[in-house]
Amino acid sequence: MDPLTGGVGTLASAKPLKTPVSYWPAATTLFDYIRRAMPTTAPQSLSNDQVYALTAYILSIDGIVPKDATLDAKSLPQVKMPNREGFVSWWPKPPR
């Protein structure tokens, strides 16, 4: 299986490690991946609270959120991922 953590700061190196934590621009994508695919023996069987807790745990391993972080629908989109600005957008940003 591919790793879910590690690789932060390696994307510009000769051997980048692309993990959800190092590469994906949004923490909500990690939440969605976990919700749809985990556990591998029973996908989509976790409650939303369990998925938020697992997302927080994975993000805490690399210091993206504190070890005691509690994530929910309001706080998860506020998480700043290391590669958040690492993608080129082909679409103009909507006016604020």
DSSP string over the chain: ---SS--TT-TTSSS----TTTT-S-HHHHHHHHHHH-STTSTT-S-HHHHHHHHHHHHHHTTSS-TT----TTTGGG---TTTT-S--SSPPPP-
pLDDT at 36: 96
Q: Is the pLDDT of residue 1 over 80?
A: no
**Which domains occur in the chain, in start order?**
1-84 (1.10.760.10)
pLDDT, averaged across the chain: 94
Degrees (nearest 5) of the Cα angle 19, 83, 14?
Answer: 65
pTM of the model: 0.85
- Give the DSSP letter of residue 50: H
Tens-place pLDDT, residues 17-54: 999 999 999 999 999 999 999 999 999 999 999 999 99
Element at 68 (helix H, strand E) = none
